[in-house]
Amino acid sequence: MNDYLLAFSLGLLSTPHCAGMCGSVLGALLAGSQRQGAAAVPIGAILQFGSGKLLAYVALGSVAGLGGLALSGGLAGPGMVLRGLSALLMIGIGLYIAGWWRGISRLEHAGAQLWQPLLRRAGSLRLERAGHRLLAGMAWGLLPCGIVYSMLGLALAKASLLEGGLLMASFGLGTMPFVITAGGLLGSARRLTGNALLRQLAGAAMIGMGLVTLGMLFMPAPHAH
């Protein structure tokens, strides 16, 4: 499967995890940005917060891609290590989505430390302003999240600024249906993702792809260049 399609579907599949957390964040942000007696559905504000979130993901992805490039130096050897790491992360996300092992959530602890300094700057945001809503959305996108960090592992393996950003953009777009409907699609999303069998299938597919990626590292390429 195409990596971008994979990232997009992961974004979609993360909805049940996201519903409680991101839904509450969006609820609070909207409550803060809405003037009394405003229109029932503040589409503009939702889109601004959502774009901020997407921008944050793209920025993170680009940085990860660039980091991957720097680490591997465009060379095959270190590149192999990154691909191996990314394969392991894929297996980790698979286990997480299927609900068999939640080790990935430990990444969040690490991320939470990095996130603290950023938080202090968020205090000065005024949510009535469109630009500030974009920034608040970015802060939202940077919240510690196991799935995002795993995706960043994949972006790292891309070892390209552009491709890393694109990968994270695909993931972010996958989470958008939920954001745009402000939780309105929750019911139908849950029908798809709440199904344990479907989640386990998705997780198993993810693990399978991780294993294949891993396997390919140790197999001699049929046509050496």
Partner 1 sequence: MLDKVRTSLCHHCQAPVSEAERCEALIGGTLHSFCCQGCAGAARLIDTLSLNAFYDYRASCDTSLPASSQRKARAVQDFLPAVAHTPEGVTLHLLIPDLRCVACVWLLEQVLGRQDGVQEVKVNFARRRLQLRFNDSSRLPALVNLIEQLGYSPVPDLPDAGREAGKALRRAQLLRLGVAGLCMMPVMMFALASYLAGPPTAQNPASGMDPLYESLLRWASLALSTPVVFYSAAPFHRGAWQALRHRQLGMDLPVSLAILAAWVLSVYNTLSFGSAVYFDTACMFAFLLLLGRHVELLSREHFEDNADHLLRLLPTTARRRAAGNDAEFATVPMHEIVAGDVLQVLPGETLPADGVLLEGSASISEAAFTGEPLPVLRTAGARVLAGALNHDGTLLVQAASAPQDYRITRLARLQDAAMAYRPRWSLLADRAAGWFIGTVLVLAAGAGVAWHLAGSPDAWVIALTVLVVACPCALSLATPVAITVATTTLRRHGVLIRNGAFLERAAATTTVAFDKTGTLTEAQLQVQSVIPLGERSAEECLALATALERHSEHPIARAFATPTTLVASDVDVVPGGGVSGTIDGHACRLGQSAFACLSEPALTPPDEDGLWILLCGPGPLAWIGLQDTLRPDAAAMLEALRHDGLCTTLYSGDPSPGGLRLAQSLPLDEVRTGMSPAQKIAAVRTEGERGTVMMVGDGINDAGAMAAAACSIAISPRDVLVQNSADATLVTPALLGLPAVLRYARRARRIIRQNLLWSLLYNLSAIPLALAGLLPPWLAAIGMSLSSLLVVFNAGRLRRMEG
Minimum distance of partner 1 from residue 9's CB (angstroms): 20
Return the number of the residue (77 or 187) whose C-beta is nearest partner 1. 187
d(C-alpha 153, C-alpha 67), whole Å: 11
Element (H, E) at 219: none
Return the number of the residue (5 or 21) whose C-beta is nearest partner 1. 21
Return the number of the residue (112 or 217) whose C-beta is nearest partner 1. 112
Minimum distance of partner 1 from residue 110's CB (angstroms): 9
DSSP 145: -
Return the number of the residue (19 or 161) whose C-beta is nearest partner 1. 19
d(C-alpha 66, C-alpha 155), whole Å: 9
Minimum distance of partner 1 from residue 38's CB (angstroms): 16
For the chain, helix, strand, coil in percent to 5 are 80, 0, 20
Return the number of the residue (120 or 225) whose C-beta is nearest partner 1. 120
Return the number of the residue (81 or 118) whose C-beta is nearest partner 1. 118
Contact footprint for partner 1 (CB under 8 A)? 19-25, 27-29, 31-32, 102, 105, 108-109, 111-112, 115, 119-120, 122-123, 125, 127, 136, 139-140, 143-146, 183, 186-187, 190-191, 194-195
d(C-alpha 123, C-alpha 119), whole Å: 7
Minimum distance of partner 1 from residue 166's CB (angstroms): 24
**At residue 65, what is the residue type?**
G
Structure tokens at 130: 């469109």
Minimum distance of partner 1 from residue 223's CB (angstroms): 43
CA 106 to chain CA centroid, Å, is 16
Exposed, middle or buried by CB within 10 Å (0-12, 13-18, 19+), for 53?
buried
d(C-alpha 148, C-alpha 156), whole Å: 12
What Cα–Cα distance (Å) separates residue 86 from each residue in 17, 209, 211?
Answer: 22, 11, 11
Minimum distance of partner 1 from residue 44's CB (angstroms): 18
